[in-house]
Amino acid sequence: MRKIIIDTDPGQDDALALMTAFGARDQLCVLGVTCVAGNVPLELTSVNALKICELSGFFDVPVFKGSPAPLKRKLITAEHVHGKTGLDGTELSVERKEIEITSAIDFIIECSERYKDDKITICALGPLTNIAKVLRENPRVTESIEEIVLMGGGFFEGGNITPAAEFNIYVDPEAAKIVLESGVKITMLPLDVTHKTLVQRDFLEKLRKSGKNSAIEAAKLLDFFERYDMEKYGSKGGPLHDPNVIVYLLNPAIYSGKLVNVEIEVNSELTRGMTVVDWWSVTNRKPNTYYINDVKYDEFFEIVLNKVLNLET
């Protein structure tokens, strides 16, 4: 059982990532969900995490509030994509679960101490502010982190919030820089791979026809989420970004990539948050990231569907 912490800013695609992880209870032990401001402000992302835990029937997974703003920048959000709540498309509510008193940063540090021998994997689905703060406050946590698997960046595909930058990195580039320079094993799932996992109609129909409430609500979330990217890219389906992090942990064999150096641009306003990927090894910079750029589409959606349908609710 791989022990993971999911750091997230839900977001419809974050919701599907959480549901995929919860449905993989035989492979993944979710120690907790830590929330960060990103797609919407922190007050909403933390409530959204509670909603998805309840929808999935995972009442015992603790949820923690983390950073309300980037390290040095004003918060930029993405309501134009996710709607004003971050989970537009459904009417989910919170009935039983509550936010933990402990902060997300303290929780991650505590887990790094408690599971030093087993080690933990951090699944980062949003801006990397929480993770950067953990690394700054307690650099020794690197000894306890097996891997940071993150959704962020783009090289071949460019950016999705500016021509040069992907949203998660753009929101807090200083945090991303700290994480990539930490020396921890890092796997990055950028737009170059997530834009290959476009939702198709048959996938949504299988969710709807399952008869399970959680799967039906997931389909509603994706119906709303897709409309923006389908219009933007002219595609038949929107890219399902964040579940790639979880699916990679469940079956890395369906992904391919390269160990390369990735640097984060923090100075230029024109290219702020750009992930500068030395794909062809034209510099002498040391490789620091396993950069994924391809996935087996059918296998990806089969895993997501199976895990979501594996939920008991």
What are the pLDDT digits (tens) for 68-109?
A: 999 999 999 999 889 999 999 998 989 889 999 999 999 999
How many Cα atoms within 13 Å fall on the side-chain side of residue 33?
Answer: 32
Which tens digit of pLDDT belongs to each residue from 40-78? 999 999 999 999 999 999 999 999 999 999 999 999 999
* The predicted structure's pLDDT at residue 214: 95
Angle between helices 129-137 and 173-180 (to 10 degrees): 50
Percent of the chain scored above 90 by pLDDT? 89
Q: Return mean pLDDT, the chain.
A: 95
- Where residue 258 sits, what CATH number does that domain have? 3.90.245.10
181 has pLDDT over 70: yes
Nearest to 152 by CA among 114, 204, 118, 194: 194
Nearest alpha-carbon partner for 289 in 172, 85, 151: 151
Give me the pLDDT at residue 240, please. 94
Look at residue 228 in the predicted model and tell me its pLDDT. Answer: 64
- Count of domains in the chain? 1
The H-or-E segment that residue 35 falls in is: strand 28-35
82 noted as active-site residue: no
pLDDT at 170 over 80: yes
The verdict on residue 85 lying in a domain is yes
Cα–Cα distance measured from residue 231 to residue 26, given in angstroms and rounded to the nearest whole number: 38
Alpha helices in the chain (DSSP H): 12-22, 42-56, 79-82, 104-114, 129-137, 167-171, 173-180, 191-194, 201-208, 213-233, 243-250, 297-309
Q: What is the pLDDT of residues 99-143, one digit of tens each?
A: 999 999 999 999 999 999 999 999 999 999 999 999 999 999 999
Q: Which two tokens stand for residue 54?
A: 């309840």
Which residue range(s) make up the domain with 107?
2-197+240-309
pLDDT of residue 57: 94
Let me know if residue 54 belongs to a domain.
Answer: yes
121: helix, coil or strand?
Answer: strand
Each residue of 245-297: pLDDT tens digit? Answer: 999 999 999 999 999 999 999 999 999 999 999 999 999 999 999 999 999 99
User: Using 50, 70 and 90 to split pLDDT, how confident is the model at 229?
Assistant: low
* Interatomic CA distance for residues 189 and 247, integer angstroms: 11
C-beta contacts of 158-162 below 8 A and 24+ residues apart: 158/191, 159/191, 159/273, 159/274, 160/191, 161/76, 161/78, 161/273, 162/271, 162/272, 162/273
**Does the pLDDT value for residue 201 go beyond 90?**
no
- Cβ contact 110:120 at 8 Å: no
- Does residue 226 register a pLDDT over 80? no
pLDDT at 225: 80
Residue 235, pLDDT score:
67
HSE-up of 223 (CA within 13 Å, CB side)?
13
Residues forming a β-bridge with 64:
34
- Which of these, 118, 127, 124, lies nearest to 145 by C-alpha position? 118
* Residue 93 covered by a domain: yes
Residue that has been written with the tokens 């209870």 in this structure: 25
- Across the range 211-233, mean pLDDT stands at 84
**Domain-located, residue 219:** no
